[in-house]
Structure 1
Amino acid sequence: MSSEASMLVPTPPTIKRIERISPTLYEAAMKCTSRAAWLAGGDGKLVPPHPRALLGTGVHAVLERARAGGVAGTTEDEWRSGAERFFDEKMRQLFAATHPLLHAKFDGPDRLPFYNLFRARAAQMAADAAASLSGRAGHAIARSSGGGLAVEAALVSKDGRVAGRADVLDSANATVIDYKTGAAGDSDPVTESELRQLRLYAYLANQNGIAIARGVIERADRSRAEVPISAQDAAEEGRRALVVLDGYNQHAGKPFESGASPSPDACRFCPCIPFCEAFWRTAEPQWIGQCGTHVEGVVESVEGGELVSINLNATRGTGANGPAVVTRLSREWLTFSGAIPQPQQTVRVTDAAYVEESTAPAVFRADRVTTAVWTVRSQAP
């Protein structure tokens, strides 16, 4: 756990040049250069992750182990039990290293919302993978550009400017597979973002002499979606990634804010919201539906015992401006890293559950899973 982690708004990093772009950075930079800069060079431990993201990391680790033949056993029950034990161990490690706000909210990793659901899904998917491997006569797990099944295959383009790590690269079937911990959306079985990622993996495989003709998304609910990928589409995705990389590097050495492109879509699930000045200058109440409820304001008073309410004058964000109250805050969430916010201090409340604004003051209800209260640094006179 980072000793510097607190609820003081972090100082954003200067945008640093990057020599190569990954699928994750590619997707972020298409929306916002500053968001990509944070992913590339920011200290992620300064911002608490969403519990689902932490659980997703645990699921991914289990699947990587299973695909590499690292889950012991000969039956489905044995594979499931082994995967569950590994998931528990991995989650203990991840939870120990995460932001202290999650420690203040949850007694342990097994208290995270949906822990047992993610654990069961990871175990079942691991058992499916182990069963698949056991059925391959003379199967081999490769980590090179040779034939066979490559798990977490690290690939770099010929020019060294694009790199990625595919979950599974099945050269024998000309297929790249990517795991997703969430369920499929209501519209397309594969999103545009997922399709770009698959095409970029195909581009990297092609650059390494591995022909890819299709991409597959496998989800934790055991659903599976397949899309064709032509060599031309893969090459075009690689070209676009290089254009995005060059555009990103034009901001190298500049302040974080210079690359910000705030919008309802770009700011959706963005970890930079607590410290992104461009977001707070631009955000409007109409953004709530896409990027959630976030409010900045000056504290007027703090009330309550174990459950705290903060009365403030809201001035910016996606919530209604004017008199407001943030309710249902646990005192422990506010005091683990210092004192409760005081009158005249400016705070930013991110990811409140919802807003009631039919009467004054507007009511912002805290959500145990997502809400954080940040103190804005005092400005020098």
Structure 2
Amino acid sequence: MNGLDWPTPAPGPLAWISPSSAAAMQTCQLRLAFQLDAKTSGWVRGSTRTALGIVAHRLTELVWTGHAPTTHRRDWLEDQWTALLEEERRALIARWPGSLVPPASEWPGVTATRVRLLRRLEGIKAKPKGAATPGHVPSASVPALPWVERMLQDQTRGIRGVPDRVERSDGALRVVDLKSGAGQSAVTPDQRRQLLVYAHLVNEEIGYLPHECVVVDVRGRETCVAVGAAQVRESVEELEALRDGFSASLATGAVPASPSPSACAWCPFKIVCKTYWQARNETWSGLDVRGEVAAVLHDGSIRLGVAAEDGSSSSFRVIWHGEHRPGLGASVAVVDLQRAGPGTGRMRWWSRWRVA
């Protein structure tokens, strides 16, 4: 390893577990530890992909909660879509200081998501804001359905989650989860467990399980997940076992990593993860490099001396963007480069880098 420091995350005990944190544990416990540690959590800065998902969820929530007008709805949806996109772009600019975040019109997948989402939301029947759902009698502690993005908790087991929507439709109690990704197809095991844990949390609130759980994609297509007491119990026990295993790892101070091309490709913490740099090789996708600055070139790029495990070395040119260009002899790591010819990579607006 070069002169960069490689932090060891040390978050506090995990008081709560959610379906999303359980999925993160299964992918890589070390990634979750980085995410929970305040010293390293700042590497999570978001992306255009996550921003699109946020916009889709927020616009759907506005329609679900009765904010959409009954007339000229398409115009209203277009205006809200544009405003929410720009709001998320400003948030990305704030989280990526010095980076040139592209206009939202240039984001990958923005057109397909917009067309499919707005077409679906245009056809959803509007309800007056605050309208109660027939068949559910609210109490002082349990608000009337539908619930949209409401935090649900099992205090005894330390499990929490936020279903996109819990509703009663044609007499059936349903948990609805919106998946805004254009590539959503079959329900994954993680998504199935997520919905069944939500069913458990609804049961804790209302006293009985939902009749069905459904995944809704950006086109509005629904995929049902069967809900049964045994399946729900199994999913809850799986979450508890994952939390116990993670807590045990934290207690020993040796949180295991699970490096792989798929697990590490979009991980925001690979820039600070020593295990990642030890595991990756030339067969992995993506263009990430670390080394020492051997030359600072007149065109603003730098040339790195990159050492291989067998003791050999090679040269790699990084076309550097922005301020804080490293000087001669500095240790550098930079990830998510765009290939710009043999032995050359160009920094993207979302490339992460470290210098020592």
1:298 aligns with 2:292: yes
Letter in 1 for 2:307: T
CA–CA distance in structure 2, aligned partners of residues 267 and 133 of structure 1: 42
Aligned Cα root-mean-square deviation (Å): 3.5
- Could you tell me which of 141, 146, 165 is aligned with 1:168? 165
Distance 1:116 1:18, change over 3 A: same
Letter in 2 for 1:331: H
Q: Which residue matches 2:305?
A: 313
**1:26 equivalenced with 2:22 (yes/no):** yes
Query: 1:100 is paired with a residue of what secondary structure?
Result: coil
Is 1:313–1:324's contact at 8 Å kept on the other side of the alignment? yes
- Alignment partners' CA distance in 2, 1:230 and 1:174: 13
The reply to whether residue 155 of structure 1 matches residue 148 of structure 2 is no
Closer, same or farther: CA 72–231 of 1 in aligned 2, 3 Å: same
Which ranges of 4 or more aligned residues in structure 1 deviate by more than 6 Å? 141-144
Deviation (angstroms), 1:214: 2.9
The CA distance in 1 between the partners of 2:326 and 2:120, in whole Å, is 45
Name the SS for the 1:260 alignment partner. Answer: coil
Paired residue for 1:372?
352
Give the counterpart letter for 1:228 in structure 2: A
Within the candidate set 321, 327, 337, 1:331 is matched to: 321
Structure 1 unmatched runs, 5+: 1-7, 357-361
8 Å CA contact retained: 2:200, 2:209 = no
Q: Between the two proteins, what is the percent identity of the paired residues?
A: 23
For residue 359 of structure 1, what is the aligned residue in structure 2? none
Q: CA deviation at 1:275?
A: 0.4
- The change in CA–CA distance for 1:218 and 1:69 in structure 2 (over 3 A counts) is same
Task: Show the counterpart of 1:342.
Answer: 327
- Measured at CA, do residues 112 and 100 of structure 1 come closer, stay the same or move farther in structure 2, by a change above 3 Å? farther
2:101 and 2:349 in contact (8 A); partners too = no
Question: Which residue does the alignment assign to 1:189?
Answer: 186
Partner of residue 214, structure 1: 212
Return the match for 2:256 from 239, 242, 259.
Answer: 259
| Aligned residue in 2 for 1:76 | 73
Which of 236, 243, 247 is the equivalent residue of 2:245? 247
Q: TM-score, normalised by structure 2?
A: 0.81
Distance 1:105 1:50 in 2: 13
Deviations 1:342-368 (A, max 9, x none): 232222121234597xxxxx5243363
Residue 353 of structure 2 aligns to which amino acid in structure 1? V
Q: What is the distance in 2 between the residues matched to 1:343 and 1:99?
A: 25
Alpha-carbon shift at residue 16 of structure 1 (Å): 1.8
- Label 1:354 to 1:232 Cα distance change in 2 as closer, same or farther (>3 A): farther
Amino acid in the other structure paired with 2:126: L
Equivalent residue number for residue 59 of structure 1: 56
- 1:77-104 superposed Cα distances (whole Å, 9 cap, x missing partner): 2442343254145325523532215xx2
1:82-131 Cα deviation digits (max 9, x unpaired)? 43254145325523532215xx2226555545555545555444434xx3
Instruction: Give the C-alpha shift of residue 51 in structure 1.
Output: 1.9
Is residue 73–residue 79 contact of structure 1 (8 Å, CA) maintained in 2?
Answer: no
Change over 3 Å in CA distance of 1:38–1:118 after alignment to 2: farther
8 Å contact kept, 1:176–1:212: yes
Which position in structure 2 is the counterpart of 1:271?
268
In structure 1, give the amino acid aligned to 2:321: R
Distance, in Å, in 1 between the alignment partners of 2:22 and 2:132 is 33
Change (3 A) 1:232 1:326: farther
Counterpart Cα distance in 2 of 1:69 and 1:10: 49
Q: Specify the SS of the correspondent of 1:259.
A: coil
Q: Which moved more, 1:269-278 or 1:216-225?
A: 216-225
Shift of 1:28: 0.4
Structure 2: unaligned runs, 5 residues or longer:
none
Aligned length: 343
**Alpha-carbon distance, 1:372 to partner:** 3.1
What amino acid sits opposite 1:366 in the alignment? R
**Closer, same or farther in 2 for the Cα pair 1:262/1:331, shift >3 Å?**
closer
Aligned-partner Cα distance in 2 for 1:210–1:39: 34
TM-score (norm 1): 0.76
CA gap of 1:160–1:258, structure 2 versus 1, over 3 A, is closer
Q: What is the match of residue 228 of structure 1?
A: 226
Residues 132 and 10 (structure 1), Cα distance of their counterparts in 2 relative to 1, 3 Å cut: farther
Is 1:105 the counterpart of 2:105? The answer is no
Deviation at 1:251, TM superposition (A): 3.1
Question: CA separation of 1:13/1:259 partners in 2, compared to 1, >3 Å: closer, same or farther?
Answer: same
